[in-house]
Structure 1
């Protein structure tokens, strides 16, 4: 496995699309339940926790960019090979592959449960899983550029549902935000920690970086994406806190979807049905990128063809939908993905960064000594 990835000119993309890639990865099923999770820790000061979390995500993102900048055109697997060697590097890359698999499975199960709770209570997990996985297979077979195109189109078209929150926004009670600055610092940190699952997704940068043509604009596109995602999470949380009472919000598993249920039109009685269907346009790009990350990583690390990995993984995930049908079982998968991703996404880059900088410094000294 080469450290630097050689990308054909027709496979390169503009940094502009990083905005839609990262946003489509972050704004998925996690935003539906994050208001309750943050509020349970920080109460009316939840906005502070979200700002703290957003600031930390930006710091992690800058650390990732600094790591990637030390190489000509490397991804995370090439960096692992350079820092840890052939065999130990494969072990670290395998952990990365497992993360993509767990994250894909958690998103798949969560959306299936949302559909069962709000639209079709009796629908089979197998039927919904088959539909979503079939769409995933079709998209991944098209390649990275097709997946990016899907995230761009769906990202633009899905934003119309934000206007549906104007009605509940006009009914918020500003007393729910008072008193300010009451949560202890520890609770604020716990609230920030509760957003970790929602803000996951920007780690895809470690894989798509070699495909970017104008790398000088990667930072601005990535920062704008994280900022936009943070604003959406902040707005959704503050709207939920203002609309629901404290007791109501702590009982709402998916508070954001319940907000859409307040909408009523003469021609549509249950508008949340449309929102759940529209949510598929938000979930599918995330599934596509996670599956592409899984198959591409297997190709990079173990030289396994992407098609073979795609079909095998699809069958395994489809079979897996039979084993997690209860809410507490799905929540267990989400919690595991959140805990696994927390250490691997929010902590690991700060372990990797000094190793990369040290390796670069040693190479410079060695080059200066030999000259």
Structure 2
């Protein structure tokens, strides 16, 4: 079995892993999460977020048992180890397609929102071209360089949420009462939905051997990233639920953006929604690049050689750019794609790793450590 050769200057710390995973999980879902949760769980949607956090952390513990047995292998190499060259190659190709499909949907999601709120009359290819340029420019770099950029993106995100404090002057927490009023089955449905919005921590399956830290620190960084995103989602959902009435929550598709639109900071800065979306572009671009990189790692492993990252990323970005311009962006069609991603996420985030762990425990299979070169 071929093992990936990781150079020392390509490794990252557990601290950088935290920022990497936070950025990956922090995508366009935050725009619509309050609306989707309200439709499923009403004003108890925030409880669903807590359950989804527990589900996500449970999944990470599953990863912990698996990756501890194969400390120097990515999920691509683990697939070869268990399924053989041909079947393993098919599974690896499916993982690559999953990462590319996720990158494409992140791309299209932001395009849909940005075109609606900021440039409704501008051609879509202009926004896609900007993402293409950023994708190629940052995607060709090493994981360490990308992780450093993600750290900067993280602080830009915190600045934006500082402005949301202004909204607390207009909230009515009575909208959250009574607590646990809806049927528990609806809360569980909301939990599944929220779990889908938290996805991104599966990147650990690829990044694990790139982190030059003990196993426990890698897992802690992953769990802390989930807890951080959970707090952000919880904060956003509760704020929207307490800010908008029941009638408004049922009719507003992107409550987070609407909330920022109504705010002004010290009566000097208005239309915070435009500032929010502009800064969020950095987050989206970072999340987009992270999935491109994961796909790139898989392509290199599938072809059995170190690929030219620049040409590989350029090809991928051009394909996504062309597909984004050719395939319709109607809301109904887009929601169908999201349902496909939701189903495929279950397979690649949970089903395959669980199956591999079960087989490895059943037959007591482990891999030997591979020194970094």
TM-score normalised to structure 1 length? 0.93
Q: Write out aligned runs for 1:143-292 (5 A).
A: 143-216=142-215, 217-265=217-265, 266-292=267-293
State the SS of the aligned residue for 2:27: coil
Distance of aligned partners of 1:159 and 1:122 in 2 relative to their CA distance in 1, 3 Å threshold: same
Contact kept in structure 2, 1:54 and 1:226, CA below 8 Å: yes
**Alpha-carbon separation, structure 2, partners of 1:320 and 1:291:** 15
Pair 1:63 & 2:62 matched = yes
Q: Which runs of 5+ in 1 are unaligned?
A: 365-371
Question: Structure 1: how far apart are the matches of 2:32 and 2:280?
Answer: 14
**Per-residue deviation, residues 326-349 of structure 1 (Å, max 9, x unmatched):** 233333322322222133213333
Q: Does 1:328 align with 2:332?
A: yes
Is the aligned partner of 1:47 residue 2:60? no
- Quote how far apart the aligned CAs of 1:194 are: 1.3
Report if the CA contact (8 A) 1:5-1:210 is conserved: no
In structure 2, C-alpha distance between the alignment counterparts of 1:196 and 1:94, rounded to whole Å: 25
Q: How far apart in 1 are the matches of 2:351 and 2:194?
A: 15
Query: Partners in 2 of 1:225 and 1:238 — Cα distance?
Result: 20
Using the TM superposition, give the Cα deviation of residue 350 of structure 1 relative to its aligned residue in structure 2, in angstroms: 2.2
Separation of aligned partners in 2, 1:84 and 1:254 = 43
**Structure 2 counterpart of 1:309:** 312
How far did 1:59 drift? Answer: 0.3
Deviations for 1:38-84, whole angstroms, at most 9, x for unmatched residues? 11111121122111110000000111121010024111011111111
Go from structure 1 to structure 2 and tell me whether the alpha carbon gap of 1:363 and 1:29 turns closer, same or farther (over 3 Å shift): closer
User: Conserved in 1, the CA contact under 8 Å of 2:59 and 2:350?
Assistant: yes
Match of 2:133 in 1: 134
SS at match of 1:155: helix
Give yes or no for contact 1:60–1:349 (8 Å, CA) kept in 2.
no
Gaps of 5+ in 2: 369-373
Aligned partners of 2:68, 2:315: CA distance in 1, in Å? 34
1:331-346 correspondence to structure 2 within 5 Å: 331-346=335-350
Deviation per residue, 1:218-275 (Å, 9 max, x gap): 1111111110011111111111111111221122211111111111254443221111
1:94 aligns with 2:98: no
The one-character-per-residue Cα deviations of 1:183-204 (angstroms, maximum 9, x if unpaired) are 2221111001111331110011
Structure 1 segments (4+ residues) deviating >6 Å:
none
1:178 and 1:97 mapped to 2: Cα distance? 44
In 2, Cα distance between the equivalents of 1:295 and 1:60? 24
Q: Aligned partners of 1:83, 1:143: CA distance in 2, in Å?
A: 28
CA distance in 1 between partners of 2:229 and 2:242 (Å)? 20
- Answer yes or no: is the 8 Å Cα contact 1:125–1:325 preserved in 2: no
Name the CA distance, whole Å, in 1 between partners of 2:204 and 2:214.
12
**The 10-residue stretch of structure 1 (297-306 or 68-77) with the greater mean CA deviation from structure 2:** 297-306
1:99 counterpart SS class: helix
Contact 1:83 1:359 in 2 (8 A): no
Q: Distance in 1 between matches of 2:320 and 2:18?
A: 28
Match of 2:103 in 1: 104
Distance 2:234 2:173 in 1: 16
* Structure 2 residue aligned with 1:352: 356
Distance 1:41 1:143, change over 3 A: same
